[in-house]
Chains A and B, each alone.
Chain A
Amino acid sequence: MAVKDYIRKRFFPHIWCPGCGHGTVMNAMIRAIENLGLEKNIIAVVSGIGCSARINGYLDFHTLHTLHGRALAFATGVKLSRPELTVVVPMGDGDACAIGGNHFIHAARRNIDITAIIMNNSIYGMTGGQYSPLTGYDDFATTAPFGNIDPSFDVVKLATGAGASFVARTTTYHVTSTIKILEKAITHKGFSVVEILSQCPTQFGRRNKIPSVVDMLNSYKTDTTPIGSKEKEKNPDLMERGIFIQEDRPEYCTEYDKVIERASKGR
């Protein structure tokens, strides 16, 4: 199938601003699914609220657009009651790390077979540019007019600490590797976290003196480096990208099957 066969064409053009990275993420997600040859009927995409959450309205899968921060909780219900489905959850800064932070760490802890895509744009875009838990120190936002004093979460460390069995980071500049990483994340049996740095020129770039999309994308190229590269030794400020964790660990739905087996034996 071609990419166009995975989208609901009648809803285009999409709502994202010119230069937004979320379309790139959607494209990479579709290509990963296409490369894996997955049936459309076995895919459920569950999203929360915000720019990132609108991704699933454009996708021709079973799509559930839920509440702010609660996507993983709804997705847990979908997955546990129907484990044969491939469940993908695209989230933004708030969905994954603020209002939905609790569900994020607990889904990771359970290691339930869901792929969480965190589109990190360092800002609350849809509400007009307020700082998020992924906004950097000293960055500007409509609610941080004098500079942000909140330290930000490191999504990779957070997911790793919470017990996710697949953790990766990539950017919208590195599209080819993003597709490959998403393929591995979706195939991985367990909770997979893929953080994708995704530029928001309208709400973040404008307020932080990088209004050009090209500059923002270039910064993803210059400010990141593959895991374990020599560049990192020279410049410790570089952000590493690639697959950090990929481990086989007991998956929640499979574990629950054991509970069913024990219960049916009356134990």
Chain B
Amino acid sequence: MKKDVVFVQGNEACVRGALYAGLDFFAGYPITPSTEIAELLSRRLPAKRGKFIQMEDEISSMCAIVGASLTGKKVMTATSGPGFSLKQEALGFAVMTETPCVIVDVQRGGPSTGLPTSVSQGDVMQARWGTHGDHAVIALTASNSQDVFAITVEAFNLAETFRTPVILLLDEVVGHTRERLVEPKAGEIDVVERLKTSVPEGTDYHPYLPREDGRLPMSDFGGVHRHHVTGLAHDMWGFPSNKPDVVYGLMHHLIDKIEGHVNEITRVKEFFVDDAECLLISYGSAARTTRHVVENRRARGEKLGLLELQTLWPFPADLVRERCASANHIIVVEMNMGQILGEVKKVVKNPDGVFLANRIDGGFITPADVLNIIRITQGKGV
């Protein structure tokens, strides 16, 4: 059977994954290094009777996709660090109103304008805590075009399943590396459709009353149930409430629906993890370098392993603790000052045995950067 093979950038793999997942509406604003996503969708979406709009700024792009999602559409926006900062308030609105949407952040060097065309993974904590207030969030990542395609479909699936914004943390290297993608056939990857209420017209519909399985069926704007959606703390009808018991229930629901399903949300890839004496933990493009190091050293008989995280938030604490239990050393490889390092240290038995191999100068992390740290853990010095 002839395979659907294309040679594409990660940004295009993301676009193809989004369309595979059923994307209907995209709003965005040009920003390097994510712009290709908007450019491609301006062409591809109208061709399938979807809608693309270039808004006046990053904030309005985020707002527009939330508005469109409420009419029953699958929606996405794409940006990079500075734009991701601007979207945070509206991202919190999507958290509070439980509106499914996907936000792609193709990370570049920060802070501020930083290094617009260089790679970084500095937005991991912004994805977790960028919007104000206690909340839970889902953030996914991937290290190559093939995985970007699949994880983008996953992002849409999780957004629908948990009625939440899902952040897709790509980076400049993943976004711009052009490589082989075998495009999955329709049906090859499951696609989760919007769960819509079966409550008939004339019967009370409670937009925020979870079913027994915890899911909340939606009703489209323009449908037969006229309901209220607000960023204020609200009751099961969607109307504002500041009653402590209602607010308590809402906060716990918003956090528990995600933190309570970590296993369901966790995606990892494992390379030689089982007998690894030195376990490397990495994600995104940094995991490409790490995998190269691990495979090379394995060939020489060194017991290195790679745990590649694709779900960063909610952090898969139990899984990481378990995989790290039998390794002598843990090295976290990332292009920031240790944003995931801190999470790993939090969950392992011996935090002092966790080291950071990183790069924060805009250059892509090299095998030498990782090997230098491995040598230190082996007591060889640099």
Contacts and interface: CB of A to CB of B under 8 A. Distances in A.
Interface string A39-78: 0111010100000000011001111111100101111111
B60 A70 contact: yes
Contacts of B249: none
Contacts of A78: 67-68, 70-71, 221
A46 B67 contact: yes
Contacts of A2: none
Chain A contact surface mostly:
helix
Given A65-B231, A66-B93, A81-B68, A73 B226 contact: no
Contacts of B70: 64, 77-78
B195 interface: no
Interface in B18-59: 24-25, 27, 43, 46-47, 49, 51, 53, 55-57, 59
Contacts of B8: none
Given A66-B93, A81-B51, A84-B222, A76 B239 contact: no
A36 to B, nearest CB: 17
A74 B63 contact: yes
Given A44-B221, A102-B56, A64 B43 contact: no
Contacts of B61: 73
A35 B273 CA distance: 71
B230 interface: yes
A251 to B, nearest CB: 14
Contacts, number: 129
A73 B222 CA distance: 18
Contacts of A56: 228
B240 interface: yes
Interface stretch (A127-135, A139-147, A186-194, A257-265): A257-265
Q: Provide the main secondary structure of the chain B interface.
A: mixed
Given A11-B239, A77-B66, A78-B71, A67 B231 contact: yes
A63 B226 contact: yes
A256 interface: yes
B227 to A, nearest CB: 7
Given A80-B64, A82-B222, A103-B60, A66 B71 contact: no
B71 A260 contact: no
Nearest to B234: A65
A76 B64 CA distance: 6
B10 to A, nearest CB: 24
Interface in B52-93: 53, 55-57, 59-61, 63-73, 75, 89-90, 93
Contacts of B229: 63-65
A103 B65 CA distance: 15
A71 B236 CA distance: 23
A73 B60 contact: yes
A106 B60 contact: yes
A213 interface: no
B337 interface: no
Contacts of A76: 27, 53, 55, 60, 63-64, 67
A85 interface: yes
Interface in A217-266: 256, 259-260, 262-264, 266
A260 B239 CA distance: 37
A77 B25 contact: yes
Nearest to B89: A67
B189 to A, nearest CB: 25
B46 A260 contact: yes
Q: Which of A56, A74, A262 has the most CB of B within 10 A?
A: A74
Contacts of A84: 222
A106 B63 CA distance: 14
**Most chain-A CB neighbours within 10 Å: which of B25, B69, B75, B226?**
B226
A61 B226 contact: yes
Contact of B71 (A11, A70, A82, A103): A82
B200 interface: no
A65 B56 CA distance: 21
A77 B222 contact: no
A81 B11 CA distance: 24
B64 A65 contact: no
Interface of A: 11, 40-42, 44, 46, 56-57, 60-67, 70, 72-82, 84-85, 102-103, 106, 256, 259-260, 262-264, 266
24 contacts: A42-B222, A57-B228, A63-B229, A64-B228, A67-B89, A73-B59, A76-B60, A76-B64, A77-B25, A77-B65, A77-B66, A77-B68, A77-B71, A78-B71, A80-B51, A81-B51, A102-B56, A103-B60, A106-B60, A256-B46, A259-B46, A262-B46, A263-B43, A264-B46
